[in-house]
């Protein structure tokens, strides 16, 4: 699909005010983007009502924006976390994820992105803790699977810079062996990979290429989660484009960017659009062979 590109909804702010949210959607569309990646409340325990969901859909329709995925929330505290050992808190975390599944369903977005924070220090220090932890994680995903499949919404687990590569690899191996591609996929975050995968920053995109259904595209210098425009840092964009081209990922390219405080928004959006389109063209060229 030509001339399509997605930008995160919270590139400039995370206001909960209706006027601010509507304004940012308008600015995204006016800048030339065709899609929005919904990232508001990505790390909070906020529950959208169905009326809010319908309002967001109405705004997107008004501006001619399609929705490229939802960034779901793992919960801002242990009170609502799907990895909690307390079953009440775990179930509250599942309720939170289901809320984002419902949002994706109403916005006609087929994927949600989810963080899986690994207590890897305890994995290495306590003999049986890893098994106990994954027992809880799998219980939660087992319960989420039929709900997601009924709504045709896939969960894409994101590679995180907080998790060492060896432990992140272990998590992905376990999840992708247990769940099919209709339910579970990978969200490959380019900035996180550039920070944490020092031996091969493209490892996860290579190893799980057949599960690559979502991407968070941004750049950095390898030392911080800077969410810069592509081609302004040190990430390997040529190698990434080739891997994305052979994956099942569907356009548009999805930019997860944050504008700098001193940058002019219109100029910044123009630059983001240009470099995003540049990456898209590279992927299309590689797909054509």
pTM for the complete prediction? 0.96
pLDDT one-digit tens code per residue, 91-119: 999 999 999 999 999 999 999 999 999 99
C-alpha 113, offset from chain centre: 4
CATH number of the domain that 107 lies in?
3.20.20.150
How many distinct structural domains can be found in the chain?
Answer: 1
Q: Residue 188 sits in which domain range?
A: 5-288
Confidence of residue 282 (pLDDT cuts 50, 70, 90): very high
pLDDT one-digit tens code per residue, 229-248: 999 999 999 999 999 999 99
Which pLDDT does position 1 carry in this prediction? 46
Which pLDDT does position 70 carry in this prediction? 98
Give the SS3 label for residue 223: coil
Residues 6+ apart with CB under 8 A from 9: 21, 24, 25, 28, 36, 37, 38, 39, 40
Beginning with the edge strand found earlier in the chain, give each strand of the sheet holding 35-38 in spatial order.
212-216, 184-189, 154-158, 111-114, 66-71, 35-38, 5-8, 253-255
The DSSP output letter for 49 is -
């Amino acid at each position: 699909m030509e001339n399509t590109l997605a930008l995160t909804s919270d590139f400039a702010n995370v206001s909960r005010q209706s006027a601010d949210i509507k304004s940012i959607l308008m600015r995204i569309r006016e800048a030339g983007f065709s899609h929005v990646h919904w990232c508001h409340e990505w790390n909070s325990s906020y529950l959208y009502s169905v009326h809010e969901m319908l309002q967001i859909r109405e705004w997107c329709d008004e501006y001619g924006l399609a929705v490229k995925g939802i960034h779901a929330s793992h919960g801002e505290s242990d009170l609502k976390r799907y990895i909690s050992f307390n079953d009440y808190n775990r179930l509250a975390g599942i309720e939170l994820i289901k809320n984002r599944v419902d949002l994706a369903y109403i916005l006609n977005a087929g994927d949600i992105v989810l963080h899986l924070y690994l207590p890897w220090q305890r994995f290495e220090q306590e003999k049986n803790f890893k098994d106990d932890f994954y027992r809880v994680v799998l219980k939660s995903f087992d319960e989420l699977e039929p709900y997601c499949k009924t709504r045709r919404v896939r969960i894409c687990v994101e590679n995180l810079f907080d998790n060492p590569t060896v432990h992140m690899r272990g998590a992905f191996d376990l999840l992708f062996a247990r769940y099919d591609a209709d339910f579970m996929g990978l969200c490959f975050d380019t900035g996180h990979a550039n920070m944490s995968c020092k031996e091969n920053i493209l490892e996860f995109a290579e190893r799980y290429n057949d599960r690559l259904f979502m991407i968070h595209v941004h750049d950095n210098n390898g030392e911080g989660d800077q969410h810069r425009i592509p081609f302004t840092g040190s990430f390997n964009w040529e190698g990434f484009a080739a891997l994305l081209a052979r994956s099942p990922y569907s356009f548009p390219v999805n930019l997860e960017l944050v504008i700098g405080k001193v940058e002019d928004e219109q100029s910044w959006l123009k630059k983001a659009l240009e470099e995003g389109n540049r990456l898209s063209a590279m992927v299309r060229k590689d797909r054509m062979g």
